[in-house]
Structures are given as structure tokens and as C-alpha cells.
Amino acid sequence: MFEYRNGELWAEDVAVERIVEEVGTPVYIYSKAHFVSQFKRFDDAATRNHTICFAVKANSNLSVVNVFAQLNAGADIVSKGELFRALKAGIKPENIVFSGVAKTKDEIAYALENNIKMINVESEDELYAIDEVAKSLNKKAPIAFRINPDVDPKTHPYISTGLKKNKFGVPYDEALELYEKANKLDGIEIVGVQFHIGSQLLDTTPIYDASVRIAKLIEALNDRGIKIKIVDVGGGVGIVYDEKTDKEPDVNKYVSDVEKAFENFDVEIVFEPGRFLVGNGGILVSRVVYHKKNLNKRFLIVDAGMNDLLRPSLYSAYHRIAPVKLTGSERIVCDIVGPICETGDFFARDYEIEDVPNSGLIAVFSAGAYGFTMASNYNSRPRAAEVMVDGNSFKIIRKRESLEDLIAGEVL
């Protein structure tokens, strides 16, 4: 939903430059049409009873989450704060699943008091904590164990979550014993099985392989009289960041493969897409401040930094970067860097781009997921504004932080 018209970048039917004139930089700009389109692609691919739970960690802005609430989506949350946001954005509690390895008793209580769909248990210790909290509230906690199927997702090691060495989930070989223990607890209601092997998967075959392993586990649980109603297959479906090297995953095949793996069971399937729904529906727009040369090295210095978009510094992640206005000027090879006092503050290194003059604008694409949601105030920098475009109009959905916002809550 971002395209060039007569050399100028547009978001849907609004010129990006027009947004910047009103809102300033840095600014995140989102396309509502992209979010809706991606959700419908996923939803239309499913033929069985299912719930699509948007992974809130990908983009937690209330207006973004509300787009999916209006489409009757659920939410995958990993903290009390994300649960609070999901509820405020209009997600129905019965469509919310709670993941994460370190849920506190306070968070567990908040989830149970709000009657969410399911808590995904990641350790035996956590199981007993949930049981204790549930009994104190005179409730039964609906749970699934997050199973670690030990399937290699073939992705970046920082976002691989389904191997034995990862901190997530319980070992596959210990799952039966843990389910039997859970089945004896008064505060626990076993409703499902969950797994999530990693993120940014362009080849979804590993998810099918993991599904086959989980199907065998469900069969063994059924043989022991433990009925599974929900299979949560996590998220992880990737997006195209680099059109030269990345190939978009076939979401229809992915969903079909998952449904095939569980065809012998009467279960609801829960999907947890995040990046797939919002990643390519957002850009980060920044203004060029200076050009600089150090010997043979060239730098394009912009007003956004790693505090605004962390992925390149954290993962050495690739994002396509281009001028907001194409002028036909010479192409240069440069490092595109920000103002943060860290050598790791960069968006790209040795990147070829049409030169952008000082005060000109660049767009960092594929910034709708894990962009603002990972932003910080490092170097005491106010966080960027967020804007939602809907057709030929746009709305500020998060105001730019002020200097006073930086010290809110602090005491001298």
C-alpha cells in the first residue's frame, strides 16, 4: 500500500510528504488497508474452526490492534500490559491467549479475572503457580502447555524458539508426564496444546513438521483420557524484506498443511500471526540531517536512530530504504546512520541509494512490525509519532513525545 506516483511516495491515497509536513519526523506511517488485506488473506485460507490471534508484540498501538478487533481477531499477548492494551482496543477476552516464560502471579490473576481463552504454560513451576492463583480466585485456569518440538526453524538464532537449547516451552519428551500432573490439579482445566518454533519463516515446512509431532502427542493424550480442544500453532510466518533474496511464503499452503496435520482431531486451531499482518504495512520516515565523509567512507546522517527502530542494530536486519521523493540524482554507497552515541546506531551499511539532500526525506520500509513497539528513550530522545492512513485521510494515533514526557514519573 506504499507506492511511487510521479516520483513521490504515497501511503494509500495520501502523499507521505503531506503527512510529514503536518506531523514532522521521525514518524511511523501505517496502512490500514494493508492490515485488513493481510488478515483476510490468512482468514480466507482457513477452512476449519479457527481463531487468528494477532501477536500484539509486533505492533501494540491501540488503533492497530483495534483494526484486528473489528475483524473479530483475537490476540496473542505476553504481558499484563499487552493484555490491558488488547482489552482496551476491543479484543474479546475469550479470544486472547497468554504466552511467555515468566508470567508473575499478578499477571496470572489479571488474566484469570478477565476470563481469557487460554494460558500457555512454559514450565512445571509456572503450572503450580497458575494452579495456586486459580484456586485463590475460586476459578479453574484454562491451560495449554507450550511444547518445544525441537524442530529447526532455519531462521535467525535470536528469533528461533523451538529448539532444545531455547528458553521457551517444555521438552517434548516430558509433555505427557506434565499433562498428567496438570490433570490432577484442582485449579487447572486442560484445554489445549501450543507450540511456536520461531519467527520470520519464509519456508513454512518446519511448522508442518512440528505440527506432525504435536499431532502424535495429542493422540497419546487422548489415549490417556486427556481431551484436547485447542491446538495453538503459534506464529512465525515471515514477510519479504529484500525483494532480491526473499520469497513470500505461501500462506494458503501453510494453513492447509497445518489443517492436514490435525485432520483426525476435532479441535479449534489457533494461529498467532504478527509480522505477517503488519510488517509491510508500515514505514519509518526520517529526515536527512547531514552528509559526511571519513576517508573513503560516506555517511547519510538522519534524525531517526536505533532507539526508534532497533532491528538493524539488534539483528543486523535488512530494511529497504529509499528517498520519499525520487529526483534522479546520483546513486551513492553509504552508511545510513542516526544520532545515537553508539557505533551500532545504523539502519544500513554500505548501502546503495539515490542521494538525498540535507533536509530531504527517506523511508525505511517493512517497519510495521517490531518497529515502534521496540522503541526506547535511549539518549533521552522522545519517541516518534505514529500515523494511520485510511484511504485518502490519515490520523495521528500516537502523539510525538515531548521533553516533559521524558521525565514523567521521575522525582528530583
The pLDDT of residue 156 is 39
pLDDT tens per residue across span 156-168: 343 344 445 555 7
Residue 255's domain comprises 100-271
Specify whether 258 is located in the same domain as 292. Answer: no
93-111 burial code (b ≥16 CB/10 A, e <16):
bebbbbbbbebeeebbbbb
Note whether 244 and 323 are same-domain residues.
no
In a domain, residue 400? The reply is yes
H or E, element range at 220: helix 205-223
- Does 238 map to a domain? yes
The last residue of one of the domains, among 222, 245, 271, is 271
Helix, strand, coil abundance in the chain, percent, nearest 5? 35, 30, 40
One-letter amino acid at 19 equals I
Asked if 236 and 124 sit in the same domain, the reply is yes
- Please tell me whether residues 109 and 257 are part of one structural domain: yes
Tell me the C-alpha distance between 296 and 352, whole Å.
15
Residues 243 and 290 in one domain: no
Mean pLDDT of the residues in the chain: 94
Report yes or no on 267 lying in a domain: yes
Crossing angle for the helix pair 80-88 and 105-113, nearest 10 degrees?
Answer: 20
Instruction: For residue 211, tell me if it sits in a domain.
Output: yes
Residues 6+ apart with CB under 8 A from 35: 64, 67, 68, 277, 278, 281
301 and 333 share one domain: yes
Do 124 and 245 have their domain in common?
A: yes
| Co-location of 287 and 314 in the same domain | yes
Residues 205 and 245 in one domain: yes
Q: Which residues are marked as active site?
A: 341
For residues 288 and 242, state if they share a domain: no
What's the distance, CA 403 to chain centroid? 28
CATH of the domain at 358: 2.40.37.10
Q: Count the Cβ atoms, other than its own, within 10 Å of residue 213.
A: 15
Residue 285 included in any domain: yes
56 within some domain: no
Among 252, 271, 290, the domain boundary falls at 271
Among the candidates 271, 288, 310, a domain finishes at 271
* Grid cell 475483524 in the structure block, residue: 71
Cβ atoms of 233 and 271 within 8 Å: the answer is yes
316 shares a domain with 248: no
**Assigned C-alpha cell, 155:** 531462521
Query: Closest by alpha carbon to 258, among 209, 315, 309?
Result: 209
Tell me, yes or no, whether 109 and 245 share the same domain. yes
If one counts the domains in the chain, the total is 2
Burial class (CB in 10 A: 0-12, 13-18, 19+), 391: exposed
**Residue 204 neighbours by CB under 8 Å, 6+ apart:** 236, 237, 249, 250, 253, 254, 257
Please list the rounded mean pLDDT of every run of 10 residues in the chain (412 residues).
Answer: 97 98 98 98 96 98 98 98 98 97 97 98 97 98 93 48 60 95 98 92 88 95 96 95 93 95 97 97 98 93 98 95 96 98 96 98 98 98 98 98 97 95
Q: Give residue-wise pLDDT tens across range 245-291.
A: 999 999 999 999 999 999 999 999 999 999 999 999 999 999 999 99
- Tally of residues, the chain: 412
Cα angle 258-259-261, degrees, rounded to a multiple of 5:
65
The Cα–Cα gap between 84 and 67 comes to 16
Specify if 342 maps to a domain: yes
- The CATH number linked to 137 is 3.20.20.10
Whether residue 187 lies inside any domain: the answer is yes
Place of cell 501511503: 11
